[in-house]
Amino acid sequence: MNWLASDAAMVRKLVVKDWQVYRKQLAGYVAGLLFALGLVGMGSPLLSAAGGLLLLVLLIVVGTFAIGSLIMAERKEQTQPFVMSLPVTPMDVFWGKLLANLAIYLVPFLLVTGGMLALILGTPSPDGAVPWVLLIALFVLVNFVVSLCVAIAVDSDGWNAFAMLALMTLIGPFIYWVTWMDGIREHLQGDVIVWSPQVLWLIGGELAVIGIAILAAGWVHARKTSFL
Amino acid sequence: MQSGERIHSMDNLRALAMLAGVVFHAALAYSPLMHPIWPAADAGRSVVVDALAWFLHMFRMPLFFVVAGYFAALLVARRGMAGLFRNRCARVLLPLLLFLPLVVASMEWLTAHAAATVAHPSPALAWIRSYIDAHGALPSMPGWAHLWFLFYLLLFTVLVWVASALELRRIGAWIASLPPLALALATPVLLAPALAGTGVPWPAPEFFVPSLWALAFFGAYFALGYQAFQRGDLLDRLRPLSPLLLGGAIAAYAALFWLTDGFANARTASSSQHLLHALLEACAGFWMILWCLLAGRRWLDRRSAAMRWLADASYWTYLVHLPLLFAIQYRLLDLPLHWMAKFALSTAVTLALSFASYQLLVRHTPIGRLLNGKRAIPQSPRDVAKAA
C-alpha cells in the first residue's frame, strides 16, 4: 500500500484546477465574509449579532459547497473519467482533492477565526472567551474535514449528504455543551485565558478526529489499485 | 510619455491628499466640534476651523481612495492580479505591520506623558489623567489609528480580485458610461445610504474590524478610480461640468454646515434629517472630488522635481505625522499663544520634521525603497491600457 502521491507536480496541477473551478464561488464567499465582518464592525449589538451569525453560516456553507462542487458534482458530470485519462494514480487524486479543498476552506476559516480572536483580544471584551472560540472554530473545521474525507472515500451521494447534515446538526449542541462545561463556563467572562484540562483534552480530541478522518480516507484510497 | 513613467496628476493629487491630512489633523486641536474628545484639543478654538477643516475632510480621504483605485487598475494592467497582490503586500501590508506598533506605542507614550505633565489639559486629556490615576494605565483603544486607510486598501485589493472573479466589470463600466450630469447627480444618491449608517461628519473607521458603511463608501471611490483608469474618457466627459461641480460642492457643504449649526446639531437630528445631512455630505464630497480630479489633470499633470519629491515624501510624512503633531501640540497647550499661531506653528514644524526625516533617514535607505519602491522603468499607462 503506497500512501504517497506518484507525481507531486501533477497533484499541484489538480489543486490549481480545483482552485480555478471554485474561484467564482470562493470570491462570492469572500465578499460575503467581508459583508458579515462589516456588519460586526458597525458596532450596534443587533448588527454585530447578525454579522457573527452570518460568519458562522458562511463558514459552514463555504465548506459544504466546496465538497459538493469539487467532489460530488464531478462524479455526476463525468469529470472523473477525464481525470482517469491523466497519468495519475488514485493517491494523486486523493492528495489533490484533500489539499485543494483544505486550501479553499482554510482561507475563509483562518480569516474568520483570526478575526474573531483578534476581536476578543483587541477589545475590552473578556479574553477568557478565547479557548471557547477556538474550540468552536476547531469543531467547525472538524466537521468540514470529516465531511470532506467521507466525500472522498464514499461514492454514495446519500451517505455524503447524511454525513454532512448529521455533522451540521451537532454544531448547536456542541456550542451548548462546551458553554456549560466545567473548566470552560467559569472562565468565559474572565479577563484571563485559562487552558483548563477540559479545553486541552477537547482540542486534542478535535485534532485527533481530523487526523483519523484523513488517515481513514487515505487508507481507503491507498487500497485501490484502480479508480473504480 | 515613456512606458512606466509616472502619472503626474494622480501622483500629485495623492501627495496633496496625504499632506492635507497633516493640516486636517493639526486643525482638530482648534475645532470646537472636536474639543470634548480630541486629546490635543486647545482652549483656543474657532468655528472658522470647523468650517474649513471639515470641508477638507469631506473629500480628502475619498480622493486618496480614488487615486488608489486608479493605481490598482494600472498595476493589474501592467503586472496582473498576482502582481497587484505582491505590490500591495510590499507597499501596504508590510508598512502597516512595521509602523502600526511604533505609531500606537509612541502616541500612547506621548499621551500618558502629557496627561501627567500638562498644566492646562484638554477635556479628553483630563479624563485620561483621571483614568490613569484610577487604573494605573491608559484606557485600551484598539484600532488602526490614522493608518486605517492602509487596512482598507488591503481589503479593496481583495475586493478587486472578488470583482474580477465574479466578472462585475460590466456594472462599473455601465455606471461610468452614464451621461456626465446623470453620473454627477446619481452617485451621491447611491453614496448617501452608506453615510447615513454613521455620524455626521463621518468618523475615521479606525476600529480594526471593517465597518460596512466605510467599505461601501470608500469602496465606491476606489471603484471610481479603477474605472477612471479603465475608461480614459471618463474625466474628459466630465470636464464641461467643472465650474458646476465646484460651486455645487461648496453650496452643498454650506447648506450642511448651516443646517447642522456647524455640526453641533447633527447628533440630535431625526432620521429624515440625518439622511438629508448624509446626502449633502455625499454631494459635497463627490462633486469636490470630481473637481479635484479635473483640476489635477489641468494644473498638476506635468513633471516637476519639487512635486515629485513631495509625492515621494508624502507616504512617510503621513505615517509619522500624528505622533509628531501630538508631541508639538501637547507642548503648546500651556503656551499663551493665539490659536492661529499654534495651528500654523504645529503644522509647519510637523511638516518640517517629517520632510527632514524623510530626506535624511528614509529617501536613500531601505525604508524609502519599502515605501516608494525602486525607480521604475518608464512606460506609458495609455499604451498599457491599450495592450490590456
> Which grid coordinates belong to B160?
478587486
The total number of structural domains that make up chain A = 1
Residues of A in contact with B211 (CB under 8 A): 38, 41-43
Backbone torsions φ then ψ of A141, nearest 5 degrees: -65, -40
Average per-residue pLDDT for chain A: 84
Give the mutation candidate from B167, B212, B213, B215 for the A interface (greatest A CB count, under 10 A).
Answer: B212
Question: Cβ distance B329 to B342 under 8 Å?
Answer: yes
- Determine the pLDDT at residue B2: 44
User: What confidence tens digit (pLDDT) does each residue in B179-200 have?
Assistant: 999 999 999 999 999 999 999 9
* Interior angle at CA B214, CA B209 and CA B217, nearest 5: 160
Q: How confident is the model at residue A227 (pLDDT cuts 50, 70, 90)?
A: low
3-state secondary structure of B109: helix
Chains A, B: CB contacts within 8 A come to 58
**Alpha carbons B381 and B1: distance in angstroms, whole number:** 8
Pinpoint the alpha helices (H) of B28-122: 47-88, 94-117
Residues of A in contact with B216 (CB under 8 A): 38
- Determine the pLDDT at residue A94: 81
**Closest CA–CA distance from residue B142 to any residue of chain A (Å):** 6
Residues of B in contact with A49 (CB under 8 A): none
CB contact under 8 A, A43 and B197: no
Residues of B in contact with A39 (CB under 8 A): 212
| Window 294-323 of B, Cβ < 8 Å to A | none
- Determine the pLDDT at residue A9: 79
Q: How confident is the model at residue B387 (pLDDT cuts 50, 70, 90)?
A: very low
Among partner residues A23, A37, A118, which is closest to B210 by beta-carbon distance? A37
Please state at what angle helix B212-230 crosses helix B148-165, rounded to 10 degrees: 60
Does the residue A204 lie in any domain? yes
CB contact under 8 A, A122 and B162: no
Does the residue A2 lie in any domain? no
Distances in Å between the alpha carbon of A68 and those of A55, A148, A160? 20, 9, 9
Residues of A in contact with B210 (CB under 8 A): 34, 37-38, 41
pTM: 0.88
**Closest CA–CA distance from residue B182 to any residue of chain A (Å):** 28
- If you measure CA to CA, which chain A residue comes closest to B212? A38
- If you measure CA to CA, which chain A residue comes closest to B194? A42
Question: Cβ distance B55 to B33 under 8 Å?
Answer: no
Residues of B in contact with A40 (CB under 8 A): 209
Does the residue A78 lie in any domain? yes
CB contact under 8 A, B209 and A37: yes
Residues 6+ apart with CB under 8 A from B213: A38, A42, B194, B195, B197, B198, B202, B205
Kindly tell me the sign of the dihedral angle through the C-alpha atoms of B219, B191, B294, B347: negative
Residues of A in contact with B222 (CB under 8 A): none
Q: How confident is the model at residue B135 (pLDDT cuts 50, 70, 90)?
A: confident
Q: Does B104 touch chain A (CB under 8 A)?
A: no
Q: Does A124 touch chain B (CB under 8 A)?
A: yes
Residues of B in contact with A42 (CB under 8 A): 197, 211-213
In this predicted structure, the answer to whether residue B68 has a pLDDT above a threshold of 70 is yes
3-state secondary structure of B379: strand
Q: How confident is the model at residue A108 (pLDDT cuts 50, 70, 90)?
A: confident
Name the residue with cell 485501490: A224
In this predicted structure, the answer to whether residue B384 has a pLDDT above a threshold of 80 is no
Q: Does B140 touch chain A (CB under 8 A)?
A: yes
CB contact under 8 A, A34 and B205: no
**Closest CA–CA distance from residue A37 to any residue of chain B (Å):** 6
Pinpoint the alpha helices (H) of chain B: 8-27, 47-88, 94-117, 123-135, 148-165, 169-176, 180-196, 212-230, 234-238, 242-259, 271-299, 305-332, 339-357, 366-372, 381-387
> Which grid coordinates belong to B174?
455601465
Question: Cβ distance A36 to A48 under 8 Å?
Answer: no
Does the residue A1 lie in any domain? no
**Alpha carbons B375 and A149: distance in angstroms, whole number:** 50
Question: Would you tell me how many other CB atoms lie within 10 Å of the CB of residue B370?
Answer: 16
Does the residue A228 lie in any domain? no
Among partner residues B166, B213, B216, which is closest to A24 by beta-carbon distance? B166
CB contact under 8 A, A122 and B215: no
Q: How confident is the model at residue A19 (pLDDT cuts 50, 70, 90)?
A: confident
Q: Does A24 touch chain B (CB under 8 A)?
A: yes
Q: Which helix (H) or strand (E) segment is A171 a member of?
A: helix A171-179
Q: Percentage of chain A surpassing pLDDT 70?
A: 94
Kindly tell me the sign of the dihedral angle through the C-alpha atoms of B238, B240, B246, B247: negative
The residue among A46, A195, A33, A219 whose CA lies nearest residue A115 is A33
In this predicted structure, the answer to whether residue A116 has a pLDDT above a threshold of 90 is no
CB contact under 8 A, A115 and B209: yes
Residue A99 is part of which domain span? 8-223
Q: What is the mean pLDDT of residues B123-140?
A: 91
User: What confidence tens digit (pLDDT) does each residue in B372-381 have?
Assistant: 887 555 455 5
Residues 6+ apart with CB under 8 A from B303: B8
β-pair partners for B3? B379
User: What confidence tens digit (pLDDT) does each residue in B254-308 have?
Assistant: 999 999 999 999 889 999 999 999 999 999 999 999 999 999 999 998 888 899 9
Does the residue A118 lie in any domain? yes
Tell me how long chain A is.
Answer: 228
Q: Does A110 touch chain B (CB under 8 A)?
A: no
Q: Does A30 touch chain B (CB under 8 A)?
A: yes
Q: Is the ipTM of this complex over 0.95?
A: no
3-state secondary structure of B3: strand
* Interior angle at CA B144, CA B141 and CA B148, nearest 5: 140
Burial class of A35 by CB neighbour count within 10 A (0 to 12, 13 to 18, 19+): middle
Residues of A in contact with B131 (CB under 8 A): none
Q: Which helix (H) or strand (E) segment is B209 a member of?
A: none
CB contact under 8 A, B215 and A118: no
- If you measure CA to CA, which chain B residue comes closest to A32? B162
